[in-house]
């Protein structure tokens, strides 16, 4: 399996607290069956070229430690870029922080509450620059939980979707889990990743989420942790067909209502 989203580098964000935790996270990933792990620290509106150097340095140091501990996992650079309106004027600058630093796929983080009005415009401008935007864990966004068709509109425009393993396992609550299942069943998920931040409370691991996804969509789930991430790894174009509309279930609708009014 290939994990395209993990906060495994220490000293760069709210992920691994120390080099020792970084090693433990990588070890747990490998034991779970992950062969390639993208290090994707949070990036806000900063100087991207400087951050690129810091990430490369962190990856190089962790790779050396992995070799010393005989942990056979391939570590790759990347970033999770928080979207902001300032990116509209310089979308090409995100090429510095694509997954694998290969100039193709950029992992974008939406706010957890709203979906900014400029999101569609940013996706369009990135695509014009030859960049493929991947939206990180949109199933956790409040607007999308309430109106998941908003995400479908972005996918129809060319955006890709990365779902967190913890979402489908219920680690972020029932509403997030229900939304994740809805998106999976409707073919609006292209990747499952760990979004790991620690070795304990938010650990790496994809195998349990893959088993659950198989229960929902069958063997198509395998592509979300193998074939599709492999395209990212190799900088290849990922082709997909967006669904025409969302198929909801009464169970999901009334569960959402229950969560909404009991919280």
pLDDT at residue 170, as a whole number:
96
Length of the chain: 263
Q: Which pLDDT score is estimated for 239?
A: 85
Nearest to 77 by CA among 18, 19, 6: 6
Question: Residue 16 corresponds to which tokens in the numbers above?
Answer: 């691994």
Quote the CA–CA distance of 256 and 234 in Å, as a whole number: 39
Residues facing 196 on adjacent strands: 6
pTM of this structure: 0.92
Distances (CA, A) of 167 to 29, 43, 103, 194, 200: 18, 22, 28, 9, 17
d(C-alpha 166, C-alpha 202), whole Å: 8
Contact predicate 175/186, CB 8 Å: no
Each residue's pLDDT, cut to its tens digit, for the chain (263 residues) gives: 999 999 999 999 999 999 999 999 999 999 999 999 999 999 986 667 668 999 999 999 999 999 999 999 999 999 999 999 999 999 999 998 999 999 999 999 999 989 999 999 999 999 999 999 999 999 999 999 999 999 999 999 999 999 999 999 999 999 999 999 999 999 999 999 999 999 998 999 899 999 999 999 999 999 999 999 999 999 999 988 878 788 876 444 444 444 444 44
Conformation bin of residue 48: beta by default, left when phi > 0, alpha when psi is -120 to 50 = alpha
Q: What is the dihedral of CA 172, 176, 177, 179, to 10 degrees?
A: -170
Name the maximum alpha-carbon separation found in the chain.
Answer: 53
Distance between alpha carbon 70 and the CA centroid of its chain, in Å? Answer: 27
| Structure tokens that stand for 101 in this block | 């630093």
Domains defined for the chain, CATH in brackets: 79-262 (3.20.20.140)
Strand 80-82 with 74-77, pairing: unpaired
Angle at 64 between CA 73 and CA 21, to 5 degrees: 70
pLDDT at residue 14, rounded to an integer: 92
- Going by C-alpha positions, the residue among 83, 87, 90 that lies closest to residue 43 is 83
Strand order in 2-6's β-sheet? Answer: 2-6, 36-39, 74-77
For 186-242, where are the alpha helices, taking DSSP H only? 207-217, 227-234
Which strands form 105-109's sheet, in the order they lie side by side? Answer: 42-43, 80-82, 105-109, 132-136, 160-164, 191-193
For CA atoms 19, 25, 53, 11, give the dihedral sign: negative
Question: How far, in Å, are 35, 176, 182, 195 from residue 59 at the CA level?
Answer: 16, 31, 35, 17
């Amino acid at each position: 399996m290939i994990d395209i989203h993990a906060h495994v580098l220490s000293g760069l964000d709210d992920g691994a607290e120390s080099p020792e935790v970084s090693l433990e996270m990588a070890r747990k990933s490998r034991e779970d069956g992950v062969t390639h792990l993208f290090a994707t620290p949070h990036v806000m509106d900063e100087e991207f070229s400087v951050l690129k150097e810091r990430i490369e340095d962190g990856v190089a140091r962790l790779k050396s430690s992995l070799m010393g501990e005989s942990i056979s996992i391939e570590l790759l650079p990347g970033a999770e870029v928080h979207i902001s309106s300032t990116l509209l004027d310089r979308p090409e600058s995100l090429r510095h922080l694509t997954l694998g630093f290969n100039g193709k796929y950029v992992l974008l983080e939406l706010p957890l509450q709203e979906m900014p009005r400029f999101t569609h415009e940013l996706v369009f401008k990135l695509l014009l620059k030859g960049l493929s935007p991947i939206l990180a864990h949109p199933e956790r966004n409040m607007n999308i939980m309430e109106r998941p068709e908003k995400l479908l509109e972005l996918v129809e425009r060319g955006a890709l979707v990365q779902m967190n393993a913890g979402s489908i396992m219920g680690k972020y609550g029932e509403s997030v889990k229900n939304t994740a299942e809805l998106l999976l069943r409707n073919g609006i998920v292209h990747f499952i990743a760990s979004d790991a931040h620690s070795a304990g409370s938010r650990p790496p691991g994809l195998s349990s989420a893959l088993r659950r996804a198989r229960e929902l969509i069958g063997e198509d789930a395998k592509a979300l942790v193998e074939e599709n991430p492999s395209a990212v790894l190799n900088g290849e174009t990922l082709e997909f067909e967006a669904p025409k509309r969302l198929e909801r279930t009464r169970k999901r609708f009334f569960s959402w209502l229950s969560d909404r009014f009991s919280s």
